[in-house]
Structure 1
């Protein structure tokens, strides 16, 4: 069960609009808090320089300089572009206790945050679904 929030996001759309805007897999992840299969996402091995944006609304969320290969099967980052870009809330689903990462602009589910990142980069790992992002190469 997810921790409920009363937060109002700057971008709000009826579910029918989200379904039209997003392909079925992106809708499942961003709007239904799903996940893509590990090692399957288009950005897992991406090494280009640029900005990762929320696929739901275009909000810049991660820069490629914060991306690293954690070996977990999903794109991993050490920090967002800013603390205002994301929302962190507790996720108690699937019998686990995790920190869920959401887009602060539209509330779309991006992935989870874990305390097992590189020590020399803050010790945090943002484990993000490729399907929840678009990439703008610099």
Structure 2
């Protein structure tokens, strides 16, 4: 059993998701005037579905065991919106929606960071003997 029962790992995964979402939103805003650009989105449901349908990773416990192929865990989970156009140039970026999504994602990210800081502060207090 881990020190925080996997909480730190879950927070880390959540921070990675929030970072990926922030990158997608930032790219959308940066390309708001690019002709033909289609908005991208990182959706938790898509990430969860891909993780649940992908084969579970096997772990070698001894060097004599047959090695397993490593899957790419640093893959992108963004989806592209192809069926919507907001501008006359074929661009599908709605800047108002992107700015609202950015604000929401920043609040989510900050909440995760605060929670992680709380866990690390608890660890620091335990190491310091409660002082």
Which TM-score bucket, shorter chain as reference?
under 0.3
Task: Report which structure shows greater RCO (CA 8 Å, sep ≥6).
Answer: 2
TM-score normalised to the size of structure 1? 0.23
- Give the helix-richer structure, 1 or 2: 2
